[in-house]
Amino acid sequence: MTNRNRNIGRRHLVAGASACSLVGALAGSRLLHAQTPSVSPTQALTPQKPRIRLQPFDLRADQITDIKVCLRPFRPMGPRFDVEHVGSKLVFHNYGHGGSGWSLSWGSASLVVEKVSTTLQRKVAVIGCGIIGLTTALTAQRAGFDVTIYTKDLLPRTRSVRANGSWTPDSRVSLTAPAGPGFADLWEKMARISWATYRDYLGLPGNPVEFIEHFVLSDRPFNTPHEESPDGRTGDYASTGMPQHGTEFARYSDRIKDIVPAAEELHPSENPFAAPYAKRNTLMLYNFASYGHLLMSEFFQAGGHVVIREFHDPSELTSLPEKIIINCPGYAARDWWNDKSLIPVRGQTAWLPPRPDLPYGLHYQGASAVSKTDGLMVQAYDLNNEGEMGSVGNSFEHPDRSESERAIKVLADLFARSPLSEG
Ligand SMILES: Cc1cc2nc3c(=O)[nH]c(=O)nc-3n(C[C@H](O)[C@H](O)[C@H](O)COP(=O)(O)OP(=O)(O)OC[C@H]3O[C@@H](n4cnc5c(N)ncnc54)[C@H](O)[C@@H]3O)c2cc1C
């Protein structure tokens, strides 16, 4: 058992112990009574439960060790999977996964390698070593191909490791109308393959992939429709070439609810946060350092080769010895392949020292904190209440420290008001 697992176990024991003293603790808790919201009719029917006990994160801006910025490679019609000829080469595209590249990587790789397997070639070149290129290379190796990765940067220096890195398979991956119903089926196939493959990486030393307890907190009931801040946008993607409303973004996750653990709404008596509405779920996340290291090691152990090289024009591919090329450059395809269908969606994460003893995460008022083995990650995912439209079209790939400080403050204030471990 790893330290992290031992600590999770210890914390659950504490939660279990508090359950025994449930009713007395609740009755005597001034703080809890002060924070408990009015009980909805459904909640009134469900029996009271013990308050969940958590240690707060130490969220302070002076603890920031790093701020990372990344552009989500968003294509309104979904990722690009078509095949084209460049001279005598056959290029299979695999890029444009929006905010879902980590989650869909294995499924996406599998779709492409299935197509590549119909050729008679056994040698494959993969362009790019982000999470899409690397999982594609590994999937090709597992299918018996001899693989060389050609890339400007290896995984630790790619945009992929500037992401959040949790299971978000339909986060800004397409717009419903341009993607069409066919993409929904493809998405489901990718999501199911990825989910199944990720199970192979659970429970390993260093926790490359793990599940953590996760809380989504709200000041309004969860069934209240999300209202984007009005900003005068009119039209839609079809009329302007850019999405104009969050409702244009596709949502597919209901298609896989048979395999992904459902969230449960907490009874007010259980809710340890000073936010009246709370849901708890178990969230799959990817710890970049250990997972990335493991994938690179697997690639080399299986005889893979890497060539560090930057391409500037598709015609340069004709100099490669491989006839089959899988193109996985992420957002860089906008320049390198002149694919202007890619729309940047900026995102930023701030990193604080790791807290492996506090393996949980939360979302509140557009800020999130997630405890990963490589750091406590804080993201301002929607501080301006723009919903899916936040940062769409924004290609400013430089850190904005004030944004991270605002997110830290939102959560630090919440913790300061919350009766977390008391009671
Ligand atoms: C803030 C943020 C949070 C996110 N959170 C999540 C999340 O929680 N879950 C999730 O599933 N997804 C998330 N995403 C989305 C995810 O990060 C992307 O979809 C994914 O990283 C795309 O990976 P990629 O391999 O296609 O691209 P990249 O990581 O950009 O990799 C591209 C590779 O191609 C190489 N390359 C590029 N151009 C050239 C060239 N001209 N010549 C040679 N090599 C080249 C690069 O060096 C690199 O190796 C998030 C994104 C952001 C910005």
Give the CATH number, domain containing residue 329. 3.50.50.60
- Other beta carbons less than 10 A from residue 228's beta carbon: 17
Predicted local distance difference test score (pLDDT) of residue 231:
65
Count of domains for the chain:
2
Q: Name the DSSP class of 419.
A: -
Predicted local distance difference test score (pLDDT) of residue 223:
85
Residue 166 CA: which ligand 1 atom is closest? 8
Predicted local distance difference test score (pLDDT) of residue 230:
56
Per the domain annotation, does 11 fall within a domain?
Answer: no
74 conformational bin, left if phi > 0, alpha if psi -120 to 50, beta if neither:
beta
Per the domain annotation, does 334 fall within a domain?
Answer: yes
Per the domain annotation, does 99 fall within a domain?
Answer: yes
Q: Is residue 120 domain-shared with residue 265, that is, in the same domain?
A: no
Picking from 247, 232, 284, the residue whose alpha carbon sits closest to that of residue 172 is 247
Cα(163)–Cα(337) distance, rounded to whole angstroms? Answer: 23
Per the domain annotation, does 2 fall within a domain?
Answer: no
Q: Is residue 116 domain-shared with residue 243, that is, in the same domain?
A: no
Q: Is residue 310 domain-shared with residue 187, that is, in the same domain?
A: yes
Cα(34)–Cα(53) distance, rounded to whole angstroms? Answer: 17
Assign 206 to helix, strand or coil. Answer: coil
Q: Is residue 77 domain-shared with residue 105, that is, in the same domain?
A: yes
Cα(181)–Cα(167) distance, rounded to whole angstroms? Answer: 22
Per the domain annotation, does 30 fall within a domain?
Answer: no
Assign 86 to helix, strand or coil. Answer: strand
Per the domain annotation, does 144 fall within a domain?
Answer: yes
CA 246 to centroid of ligand 1, rounded, Å: 22
Query: Looking at ligand 1, which residue's alpha carbon is closest to its atom 3?
Result: 163
Q: In what order do the strands lie in the sheet with 146-151?
A: 83-86, 89-93, 324-327, 123-127, 146-151, 305-308
Predicted local distance difference test score (pLDDT) of residue 37:
40
Q: Is residue 56 domain-shared with residue 97, that is, in the same domain?
A: no
Query: Looking at ligand 1, which residue's alpha carbon is closest to its atom 25?
Result: 130
Q: Is residue 156 domain-shared with residue 92, that is, in the same domain?
A: yes
pLDDT values of the chain reduced to their tens digit, one per residue, 423 residues: 344 543 433 333 233 323 222 222 222 222 222 333 444 544 555 668 899 999 999 999 999 999 999 999 999 999 999 999 999 999 999 999 999 999 999 999 999 999 999 998 999 999 999 999 999 999 999 999 999 999 999 999 999 999 999 999 999 999 999 999 999 999 999 999 999 999 999 999 999 999 999 999 999 999 887 666 556 778 999 999 999 999 999 999 999 999 999 999 999 999 999 999 999 999 999 999 999 999 999 999 999 999 999 999 999 999 999 999 999 999 999 999 999 999 999 999 999 999 999 999 999 999 999 999 999 999 999 999 999 999 999 999 999 999 999 999 999 999 999 988 665
Half-sphere exposure of 374 (CA within 13 A, CB side): 22
pLDDT, tens only, 140-156? 999 999 999 999 999 99
Picking from 82, 81, 26, 68, the residue whose alpha carbon sits closest to that of residue 50 is 26
CA 131 to centroid of ligand 1, rounded, Å: 6
Q: Is residue 153 domain-shared with residue 80, that is, in the same domain?
A: yes
Q: Is residue 47 domain-shared with residue 183, that is, in the same domain?
A: no
Q: Is residue 320 domain-shared with residue 278, that is, in the same domain?
A: no
Supply the pTM of this predicted model: 0.90
Cα(34)–Cα(276) distance, rounded to whole angstroms? Answer: 11
CA 57 to centroid of ligand 1, rounded, Å: 29
Predicted local distance difference test score (pLDDT) of residue 65:
98
Half-sphere exposure of 22 (CA within 13 A, CB side): 13
Q: Is residue 280 domain-shared with residue 354, that is, in the same domain?
A: yes
Please work out, in degrees rounded to the nearest 5, the angle formed at the alpha carbon of residue 388 by the alpha carbons of 337 and 79. 30
* Cβ atoms 331, 79 nearer than 8 A: no
CA 180 to centroid of ligand 1, rounded, Å: 24
Q: Which residue range forms the structural domain that includes residue 139?
A: 73-192+288-342
pLDDT, tens only, 327-360? 999 999 999 999 999 999 999 999 999 999 999 9
Pocket of ligand 1 (CB under 6 A): 70, 72-73, 95, 97-103, 127-133, 151-153, 158-160, 163-166, 168, 310-311, 328-332, 336, 347, 349
Chain centroid, CA 160 distance in Å = 10
Per the domain annotation, does 22 fall within a domain?
Answer: no
Tokens representing 296 are 């690179």
Per the domain annotation, does 10 fall within a domain?
Answer: no
